[in-house]
Amino acid sequence: MSVCTGSFLLAKAGLLSGKAATTHHNAYALFAADFPDVSVQRGARFVDAGNISTSGGLTSGIDLALHVVERYFGREVAQKTATALEYQGLGWTDPNSNVAFAKKPVSTEDHPICPVCEMEVDKKTAPKEVYRGRTYYFCSEEDKKRFDATPDRFVAK
């Protein structure tokens, strides 16, 4: 199992090829661009693909761990584990409870979104690039370099 962007390591090793997976919500676009043979599940706290599972950010990893406890030992043991940890989140009971991140954010003139990490950026200070007549803004020079190397991976056709 992986937590957060650990899914990149599993995908790089070929373990997610042809499977569904998730990662941190700020890495969806890059993950999809880097691993087109993996079905990125936006808005999932975790994805259980049988013998391999991935989760979103840190607390989603806790949810995945509790889900695994439930798989092997049952709901009661998982609930007791959550209680012992003083963990009150219920995401482990519903892997699709991250609906706030289910839709890809839309970049607008007033609220530009970095096409690589999908975070909102300040266009007054953000690095930018014009590609096919459209201006793209980036949260970092590193993301701009990723975009510049292969922009079609991040631009809807």
What are the sequence ranges of the domains in the chain?
Answer: 4-101, 105-157
Whether 139 is a known active-site residue: answer no
Polymer length in residues for the chain: 157
Which amino acid makes up residue 98? N
The whole-model pTM stands at 0.84
pLDDT of residue 70: 95
Burial 54-69 (b: 16+ CB within 10 A, else e): bbbbebbbbbbbbbbb
Task: Give me the tens of pLDDT residue by residue for the chain, a chain 157 residues long.
Answer: 999 999 999 999 999 999 999 999 999 999 999 999 999 999 999 999 989 999 999 999 999 999 999 999 999 999 999 999 999 988 888 888 888 888 888 999 899 999 999 999 999 999 999 999 999 999 999 999 999 999 998 987 6
Map tokens 């007791």 to a residue: 80
Contact predicate 77/58, CB 8 Å:
no
105-157: CATH class:
mainly beta
Q: Please name the fold of domain 4-101.
A: Rossmann fold (3.40.50)
